[in-house]
Structure 1
Amino acid sequence: MKIITCEQVSAGHPDKICDQIADAIVTDCLQHDRDSRVAIECLFKNRNLIIAGELTSTHEPNYRMLVAEVLDRINNGGSENKDAGMDYKLDFTVDGLDITILVDHQSSDIALGVNSGGAGDQGMMYGYATIETPELLPIPFVLATEFLKLLKAYPSRMLKADAKAQVSYDYDTGRITTFLCSVQHIRDVEVEDFRPIIEKLMVRTATAYGLNTDFEKLVNPTGRFVLGSSFADCGVTGRKLACDTYGGIGHIGGGAMSGKDPTKVDRSGAYAARKIARDIVSAGYADKAEVQIAYAIGVAEPVSVYVETFGTEHQDKEFISQYVRENYDLTPRGVTESLRLLDVDYNAVSAYGHFGKQGLPWEK
């Protein structure tokens, strides 16, 4: 058996709260000043939120307002639940947080290379695509992600915002073997009170993709999950890279995407790599593709571009490599312009993955 497991976390997970705040700041700055240089990270423990990093912009963000907007989206479980009175809540509001701001200007040494069109840092980024799903993403990762989206929208007052999902899938038989969910809940209920809800959503997710429903169903296997979010964990920006990308299938680059403007190739390079991999698969050149791009700080052109098709190619490998060389400007400026990265609302990607969502320029 070839069983591979992928995971996803909810928007209410403390690491994802940090990602969402960081990307809200990026989006806000770029909307007011397209030349903003942003590298923001958050750390969240109990009721203490630290926002730190570098920011050079003509715009001064209203940090507390942006945090409030992020928490409001999570607390409401999405705008579709506002009128339903759903109590899908975090254990805090912005009024109860102690927010510390530790933000300086971007280093002038880095700016020298970036302003001339060079990469804002060294590093390698990966993009991946597969024919397994309409989203061109690994099927166990898509299942875990779509399940959590259903859970977010489900009108139950028993469940809170912090949740994780994990799906194990047997690639030899094409069957789900195990579906796992751990979800925070209110104090005066037990797991058996909401287990039918979770199992129903697991089955609904599997059915939507034409898969088996006789898999093992694990719901809060450790028992009660009352204490959650920043009170049970410490949230940090960029700590859920597998959840942001491909669920652990396919390589992951060395840096986080959230909290960074597009001059940081951790973000723009990862989007470019996904776009190339997606285009290769969409064109029918291969059933599976992984693209690595590497940059040197202050240098515009990548130092390397590598394409792997895992023996699934329908065109000669040299043809595919030549296709990549001839059709993509992989300088940070070229990627930013071709994918219109200064116009993206990064709030759309700061939870439930950066890939596979309609309307994103690297997904077209």
Structure 2
Amino acid sequence: MRSNYLFTSESVSEGHPDKVSDQISDAIVDLFLSKDPEARVACETLTTTNRIVLAGEIRCKGIMDADGVLTPEAQAEIEAAARATVKRIGYEQEGFHWQHADFANHLHPQSAHIAMGVDESGNKDEGAGDQGIMFGYASDETPDLMPATLYYSHRILQRMAKDRHSGHVDFLEPDAKSQVTLAYENEKPVRATALVVSTQHVESVDQARLRDYVKGVLNDELPNGWLPGDESIFVNPTGLFVIGGPDGDAGLTGRKIIVDTYGGAAPHGGGAFSGKDPTKVDRSAAYISRYMAKNIVAAGLATRCTIQLSYAIGVAEPLSLYVDTHGTGTVDEARIEAVLPKLVRLTPKGIRTHLALNKPIYQPTAAYGHFGRQPDGDFFTWEKTDLVDALKQAL
């Protein structure tokens, strides 16, 4: 482990084209789970200049006719959910407008062969929806036990989105990106060495005014004294950012998986989260891995923790569980690996039950990260630290 180094993470706003696609896909997941808690959804979204295209595989009670074709009512609800998402984000531009964009829906029934392997039947437990590896991570760098570089990247854009939606500023448009480079000393973040913010804006805004506003946000959202000199703060480096969103760059579901997770500070299994119901272990196993890692750090058993799970399609139990505390642990990793399955059932059904995932809770996850968020009722249950006492007693 290096003690002194620079590290960088980026975030993108809710108006980034890939995030628009993620949010539409998760709006469809929520729509179907609101009708059927056992719905199966794998929804991909493409957004481009005044066009929204859905594709994927679904199974949900009451939305298809006998031939597996979506009913007209279901078609209308799906389209309405997609358009409402774009409207909430704030797109009313000539090149991408929530009301005027063309809409195409190519969702079709789930493969019977996949269903056969995943569904619970007789003595067979519910199997994983696909093979794959999933990771969870936690670090004591921030109050939310997230990597500081990503934590502040998200905060910058969340503040700007809040200012835009509230009308506090009238020159911001939805698309934006941030990037934060921090210096670490003795493995702790101590200051920013470079900051990048690119934000879509109205054509009439003065660039000096925009830069002053962004610098004010950076000063507010980073710890006191962390701001670097002006030469290391880059605001709209191209000079102009008027054409943006899906009109400027096509968006696809699942292209911002590092933004969704840990900003590169931890491994990622490769599978995207958005658009998938919780039987897909790409999503649910990544959530339970974060939950376990966060509780290990919150319990004081380590200051950093990475957890890996692996699955095979149609098989209920994970094939492997790996815990790495990066030399910061107070308990042997093998002991933790032995205890965790006794505290949390790591089958797809066990994960969904433990975290109460079969609910329409997913659209809020699709911008500003799936992790490091505050648990709120049914939302972000994987961010709870309610396993701390059980871990301490077991170890």
* Change in 2 beyond 3 A, CA 1:104/1:312: same
Match of 1:83 in 2: none
Match of 1:225 in 2: 241
Amino acid at match of 1:304: S
Q: Helix, strand or coil: the match of 2:151? A: helix
Pair 1:113 & 2:127 matched: no
* Alignment length (residue pairs): 351
Amino acid at match of 2:84: E
Separation in structure 2 between the aligned mates of residue 318 and residue 285 of structure 1, nearest angstrom: 13
Separation in structure 1 between the aligned mates of residue 262 and residue 10 of structure 2, nearest angstrom: 9
Corresponding residue to 2:154 among 145, 158, 162:
145
Q: How does 1:319-334 map to 2 (within 5 A)?
A: 319-334=335-350
Match of 1:299 in 2: 315
Q: Indicate if the aligned counterparts of 1:147 and 1:202 stay in contact, CA closer than 8 A.
A: yes
Match of 1:133 in 2: 142
Separation in structure 2 between the aligned mates of residue 36 and residue 322 of structure 1, nearest angstrom: 33
Deviations 1:262-283 (A, max 9, x none): 1100011110110111111111
Deviations 1:145-165 (A, max 9, x none): 011010011121111000000
Deviations 1:191-214 (A, max 9, x none): 22311100000010113xx55123
Identity among equivalent positions (%) equals 41
Match of 1:64 in 2: 79
* Change in 2 beyond 3 A, CA 1:227/1:335: same
Separation in structure 2 between the aligned mates of residue 315 and residue 20 of structure 1, nearest angstrom: 40
Match of 1:54 in 2: 57
Separation in structure 2 between the aligned mates of residue 40 and residue 311 of structure 1, nearest angstrom: 40
Task: Structure 2: give runs of 5+ residues left out of the alignment.
Answer: 64-73, 121-125, 385-395
Pair 1:24 & 2:27 matched: yes
Q: Indicate if the aligned counterparts of 2:51 and 2:96 stay in contact, CA closer than 8 A.
A: no
Shift of 1:316: 2.1
Pair 1:363 & 2:383 matched: yes
Match of 1:203 in 2: 219
Amino acid at match of 1:65: A
Q: Helix, strand or coil: the match of 2:363? A: helix
Separation in structure 2 between the aligned mates of residue 161 and residue 119 of structure 1, nearest angstrom: 37
Shift of 1:322: 2.1
Corresponding residue to 2:173 among 157, 160, 179:
160
Q: Helix, strand or coil: the match of 2:7? A: strand
Q: How does 1:177-256 map to 2 (within 5 A)?
A: 177-207=193-223, 210=224, 212-215=226-229, 216-256=232-272
Q: Helix, strand or coil: the match of 2:9? A: strand
* Change in 2 beyond 3 A, CA 1:190/1:224: farther
Which protein shows a greater Rg?
2
Shift of 1:344: 4.7
Separation in structure 1 between the aligned mates of residue 95 and residue 293 of structure 2, nearest angstrom: 40
Q: Indicate if the aligned counterparts of 2:323 and 2:334 stay in contact, CA closer than 8 A.
A: no
Deviations 1:199-238 (A, max 9, x none): 000010113xx55123521100111111111121110000
TM-score, length-scaled by structure 1: 0.93
Shift of 1:103: 1.0
Corresponding residue to 1:263 among 266, 269, 279:
279
Deviations 1:272-318 (A, max 9, x none): 11011111111111100000111000000011111111111112222
Match of 2:48 in 1: 45
Q: Helix, strand or coil: the match of 2:366? A: coil
Deviations 1:122-155 (A, max 9, x none): 0011000000001110001000001101001112
Amino acid at match of 2:5: K
Deviations 1:38-97 (A, max 9, x none): 000001111111100001111434122101221222119xxxxxxxxxxx9795322211
Match of 1:99 in 2: 103
